[in-house]
Structure 1
Amino acid sequence: MHELSLMAETLAIALRNAEAQNARQIHRLTMAIGAASGVVPDALHFAFDVAIQGTIAANAELAIETIPVTCQCPQCQTQFSPPDWIYECPTCQTLVSQTLTGREIQLKSLEVS
């Protein structure tokens, strides 16, 4: 389960930032997770519940914002959100291998006191 190591690293970043702000408690972490990142939100929530034990984030909430997949066709430059895992341009039917968004894994914000 890579979500556990992902959450451990994310929590370490959050704790360093909270410490830099002299915070006593982390109330909420917001993460942006791309739909094609391979991260399973339920597994991430489970990992969060495990990782926060015994830290200043012990009573914190995890919010996940899902970032949809978007692509840009290299042939006709159309930007689109594919309806499934086949990234085919709706304008010219070119298969697209790269995404503009949807692979992000980011700690977006912290609420601390």
Structure 2
Amino acid sequence: MHEMSIALAVIGQVEEAAQRAGDVTAVRSVRLQVGELAGVVADSLTFCFELACAGTLLEGAGLVTETVQGRARCAPCAFEWAVGMPPLLSCPECGGASTDLLSGRELQILSVHWEDGRTHAPAREPISEER
């Protein structure tokens, strides 16, 4: 279950940001953007996040996930469509197989809410998970 490694990576990045901020005593919530093609099961990620937060600055923090729909564009005809799950990667308009994936693989921290009421919005960087 790679959701645990993702949860640990999120916690690590939030703890680093909190340490840089200096006076953070607790984290109340973390908002993540998760693409539907990222291979992440949101319920499993939430479960793992709750477990992994125990004993950390994030203990008791809520995890809010925002799903990003997978979208593609056909290179030959420029038609755009929602790829869905399982993903339809051939163009439904012309049948072309040369497509560009526009969205759906995102996995990034959007914001963190500190206990003191401040909101920290880190640079939108993909979450790196160690394997």
Establish whether TM, by shorter chain, passes 0.5: yes
CA distance in 2, matches of 1:77, 1:97: 9
Counterparts of 1:1-113 in structure 2, within 5 Å, are 1-22=1-22, 23-84=24-85, 85-112=87-114, 113=116
Describe the shift of the 1:18–1:71 C-alpha distance in structure 2 as closer, same or farther (beyond 3 A). Answer: same
Task: Structure 1: state its 5+ residue gaps.
Answer: none
Partner secondary structure for residue 34 of structure 2: strand
When normalised by structure 1's length, the TM-score is 0.92
Which structure carries more strand by proportion?
2
CA distance in 1, matches of 2:54, 2:107: 22
Partner secondary structure for residue 19 of structure 1: helix
CA distance in 1, matches of 2:55, 2:98: 45
When normalised by structure 2's length, the TM-score is 0.80
Amino acid at match of 1:71: A
Superimposed CA distance per residue, residues 63-91 of structure 1 (whole angstroms, 9 cap, x where no aligned partner): 00000001011111122212442223232
CA distance in 1, matches of 2:31, 2:89: 28
Matched-pair contact (CA < 8 Å) for 1:67–1:104: yes
Task: Structure 2: state its 5+ residue gaps.
Answer: 117-131
Task: Tell me which residue corresponds to 2:125.
Answer: none
Matched-pair contact (CA < 8 Å) for 1:48–1:62: yes
Q: What stretches of structure 1 move > 6 A for 4+ residues in a row?
A: none
CA distance in 2, matches of 1:59, 1:83: 33
CA apart distance, 1:56: 1.3
CA apart distance, 1:99: 1.1
Percent same amino acid among aligned pairs?
A: 27
Determine which structure has greater relative contact order: mean sequence separation of CA pairs < 8 Å that are 6+ residues apart, divided by chain length: 1
**Which shows bigger deviation, 68-77 or 90-99?**
90-99
Task: Give the CA RMSD over aligned residues.
Answer: 1.4
Task: Tell me which residue corresponds to 2:122.
Answer: none
Q: How many residues align structurally?
A: 113
